[in-house]
Amino acid sequence: MSTASPRARRETDLPRVLHKGQATRAAILDSALSLASQMGLEGLSIGALAEVTGMSKSGVFAHFGSREELQIAVIREYHRRFEDEVFFPALRESRGVPRLRGLFERWVRRVSVEVDSGCIYISGAVEFDDRPGPVRDALAAMVQAWHDALERAIRLAIDDGQFRADTDAQQLLFEMHGLILALHHDARFMRTPGALQRAQRAFDRLVAHHLVAAPAGAAAPRRPRP
């Protein structure tokens, strides 16, 4: 459509049409996200989605031109929700250790909620680790964006003098990520009770290890070791 279309049409009819289309797309995406959480990204198909949503295959196809496009849209939507739930709220915490703690605690909480549905980042990494292509690339880009955000929070804690200057930000990130993966494994696959507390306890010890020692006489800014 040309930008020379009458102004009235641009501001009323077109947005309404767009809105309806967007709402349908959002509804399909919502079902696709549930399906992928349960069956994995590889369990997604235009056919399965048509069945779940009660739409025709061609109806679904009109919104997502291919299975690959659908998988990528699901990954982006998952990332958007993850950011809304984990990343943005934690930005309200003051920078440095409080923010890092906020990010980790919300991440833990989200993985705990996902015990019954599954984390697309974690299951997707296993599904696509030997399948190169645009779906793997989209997934890796989202995981990388999240890891970059965590690394920035760690670096702020170093720059602000809260963490020791010799803190290896990528090493700390690696260890934090390991705790989340172990939590997901134990809570979801092994159904071991107490995994959430184990992840939190290990994180507290990890933070304590990197904190700059408090000056003699001052209360140490550490949580008591449970």
From the list 28, 25, 91, the residue with the least C-alpha distance to 54 is 28
Length of the chain in terms of residues written: 226
**Pick from 8, 165, 190, 219: which binds a copy of itself (CB under 8 A)?**
190
Type of residue numbered 23: A
Q: Is the dihedral of CA 27, 33, 35, 38 positive or negative?
A: negative
Q: Does 110 bind a copy of itself (CB under 8 A)?
A: no
The distance of closest approach from Cβ of residue 130 to a copy of itself in the complex, given in angstroms and rounded to an integer, is 6
Residue 118 C-beta-side C-alpha neighbours within 13 Å:
17
**Pick from 31, 64, 99, 186: which binds a copy of itself (CB under 8 A)?**
186
Interface stretch with a copy of itself, choices 19-27, 98-106, 180-188, 214-222 (CB under 8 A)? 180-188
Interface stretch with a copy of itself, choices 2-10, 19-27, 49-57, 190-198 (CB under 8 A)? 190-198
| The two structure tokens encoding residue 222 | 């550490």
Q: Is 18 helix (H, G, I), strand (E, B) or coil?
A: helix
| The two structure tokens encoding residue 11 | 């501001």
Give the residue with the Cβ less far from a copy of itself, 62 or 140.
Answer: 140
The distance of closest approach from Cβ of residue 129 to a copy of itself in the complex, given in angstroms and rounded to an integer, is 4
Q: Give the span between the Cα atoms of 1 and 137, in whole angstroms.
A: 32
Please report, as ranges, the residues that interact with a copy of itself according to CB under 8 A.
38, 40, 116, 118, 122-123, 125-130, 140, 143-144, 170-171, 174-175, 177-182, 185-186, 188-190, 195, 198-199, 201-202, 205, 209
